[in-house]
Copies of this chain bind each other. A is one copy, B any other.
Amino acid sequence: MIKIGKTVLGGPKIALIAGPCAVESLEQTMQTAHFLQSQGVSVFRAGAFKPRTNPTSFQGLGEQGLEILARVKKETGLLICTEVMDARQIPAVSRVADLLQVGARNMQNYDLLRELGRQEKPVLLKNGLAATVDELIGAGEYVLQGGNTDLIYCLRGIRTFETRTRFAFDPALVEALKNETKRPVIVDPSHSAGRRDLVYPIARAAVAVGADGLLVEVHPDPTKAKSDAEQQLDFGGFERLLAELRPIAQAVGRTL
């Protein structure tokens, strides 16, 4: 079990980590944060530094994005989860983040992981786009070896030839990974799905197999989002998601 403020990962309560793919503006970010707070979300996620396949795509607001996240934190009291892409960003990101996220593309950025192993903030490590569980565990060892034992794994699906989902989330791996590592495992249904309507079944499956948390992308107006427009839920969608998940959480002896 890992504590982040009052939020516990790995206990009976399933942690909700939600927010827009990226910090786009103060208004969009704050509006989402207030809504999510009203829904019982305890950790707000949003990217300031965005790892995009092409340099011409929106790269995030960077330092300015971190400032917006700091305001969200101050105004709402929500915990902040945001991505760190390079070891040199750690000091700046750590000033606002309560949970340091390593994205799929950096799962094997070992110098970044080593540096995170020396931090006192919990680390959320997502599996690589086509990583095996062995590689994910190996990557996690880089953090643990540095002395930082607040490590949370996040399964976000792997690449296959199937095109209906962007990445295949294999629910059995949640159980395998939890049993092998005795660490919290959360699931990211948004990136696995790659399309809004399939976020729901993946999240339901994740809860049914014992995920300790969910990382969900939520945006006030997803169709206008600067990234991941296809997969972010709007506010109504997030409410529907929670309504679907509550009875399943209860059925497996958990709460949301």
Contacts A112-B86, A193-B172, A210-B201 given; does A161 touch B132 at CB 8 Å: yes
- Nearest CB to that of A139 among chain B residues? B53
Whether, in the assembled complex, A76 has its beta carbon less than 8 Å from a beta carbon of chain B, the answer is no
Q: Is the CB of A162 within 8 A of B142?
A: no
Residue from the list B108, B133, B158, B179 in contact with A105, Cβ < 8 A: B108
Q: Is the CB of B164 within 8 A of A133?
A: yes
Q: Is the CB of A172 within 8 A of B159?
A: no
A138 and B162 CA atoms in complex are apart in Å by 14
Residue from the list B55, B88, B142, B163 in contact with A87, Cβ < 8 A: B88
Whether, in the assembled complex, A248 has its beta carbon less than 8 Å from a beta carbon of chain B, the answer is yes
Contact with B along A50-89 (1 / 0, CB 8 A): 0111111000000000000000000000000000011111
Q: Is the CB of B169 within 8 A of A198?
A: no
Contact with B along A95-122 (1 / 0, CB 8 A): 0000000000110111110100000000
Whether, in the assembled complex, A92 has its beta carbon less than 8 Å from a beta carbon of chain B, the answer is no
Determine the chain B residues whose CB is within 8 A of the CB of A51 once the complex forms: 108, 110
Q: Is the CB of B163 within 8 A of A132?
A: yes
Residue from the list B85, B135, B160, B251 in contact with A250, Cβ < 8 A: B251
Q: Is the CB of A171 within 8 A of B169?
A: yes
Q: How many subunits of this chain does the assembly comprise?
A: 4
Whether, in the assembled complex, A230 has its beta carbon less than 8 Å from a beta carbon of chain B, the answer is no
Determine the chain B residues whose CB is within 8 A of the CB of A202 once the complex forms: 171-172
Q: Is the CB of A54 within 8 A of B168?
A: no
- Nearest CB to that of A166 among chain B residues? B172
With both chains docked as a complex, state the minimum distance between the C-beta of A50 and any C-beta of chain B, in angstroms. Answer: 9
Determine the chain B residues whose CB is within 8 A of the CB of A134 once the complex forms: 53, 163
With both chains docked as a complex, state the minimum distance between the C-beta of A60 and any C-beta of chain B, in angstroms. Answer: 11
Whether, in the assembled complex, A1 has its beta carbon less than 8 Å from a beta carbon of chain B, the answer is no
Whether, in the assembled complex, A29 has its beta carbon less than 8 Å from a beta carbon of chain B, the answer is no
Residue from the list B55, B111, B161 in contact with A160, Cβ < 8 A: B161
Known: A53-B135, A205-B205. 16 other contacts (CB 8 A): A51-B110, A54-B138, A85-B109, A85-B111, A86-B112, A87-B88, A128-B130, A165-B170, A165-B173, A171-B171, A174-B201, A175-B201, A204-B205, A204-B252, A207-B208, A248-B248
| Chain A residues close to B by CB (< 8 Å) | 51-56, 85-89, 105-106, 108-112, 114, 128-135, 138-139, 141-142, 145, 157-165, 168-176, 179, 192-193, 197-198, 200-202, 204-210, 247-248, 250-252
